[in-house]
Amino acid sequence: MSNAHSLEAVTPALSIQPVNFAAEDPGPGGWRWLIEQARAADEAGIDRLVVSDHVVFGENLEEYGRPEVGGTKGGQQPTGPDGHWLEPITTLSVIAGATKHIRLLTGILIAALRRPVVLAKSTATLDVLSEGRLDLGVGVGWQREEYEAAGLKFEGRGYTLDQSLDVCQKIWRETTVNYQSDDLSFEKIHCMPKPLQPGGVPIWVSGRLNKRVFERIARFGSGWIPWGDDARDPIGGLTRIREVLEAAGRDASGFQVGTYLQNVKGDGGIDLERTMENVAGMAEAGITDFRAQLPIPDDYNAAVDYLSNVVQVFRKAAGR
Q: pLDDT by residue (tens digit) across 72-109?
A: 998 999 999 999 999 999 999 999 999 999 999 999 99
Query: CA 93, 97, 98, 101: dihedral to nearest 10 degrees?
Result: 90
Spatial separation of the C-alpha atoms in residues 83 and 59, rounded to whole Å: 12
Q: Report the C-alpha gap between 259 and 74 in whole angstroms.
A: 19
Find the helix packing angle between 116-129 and 88-98, rounded to 10°: 10
Under 8 Å between Cβ of 241 and 255: yes
Query: Which amino acid is located at 269 in the chain?
Result: G
Cis bond upstream, residue 193 (ω within 30): yes
**Burial label, 262 (beta-carbon count in 10 A; 0-12, 13-18, 19+):** exposed
CA distances from residue 186 to 28, 53, 84, 122, 181 in whole angstroms, order as listed: 47, 29, 37, 19, 9
pLDDT tens over the chain, length 320 residues: 344 443 445 899 999 999 999 999 998 889 999 999 999 999 999 999 999 999 999 999 999 999 999 999 989 999 999 999 999 999 999 999 999 999 999 999 999 999 999 999 999 999 999 999 999 999 999 999 999 999 999 999 999 999 999 999 999 999 999 999 999 999 999 999 999 999 999 999 999 999 999 999 999 999 999 999 999 999 999 999 999 999 999 999 889 999 999 999 998 899 999 999 999 999 999 999 999 999 999 899 999 999 999 999 999 999 98
Please give the share of the chain, as a percent, with pLDDT higher than 70: 97
pLDDT of residue 6: 39
Domains of the chain plus CATH, in order, are 13-318 (3.20.20.30)
| pLDDT of the residue at 10 | 81
Paired with 185 in beta bridges are 180
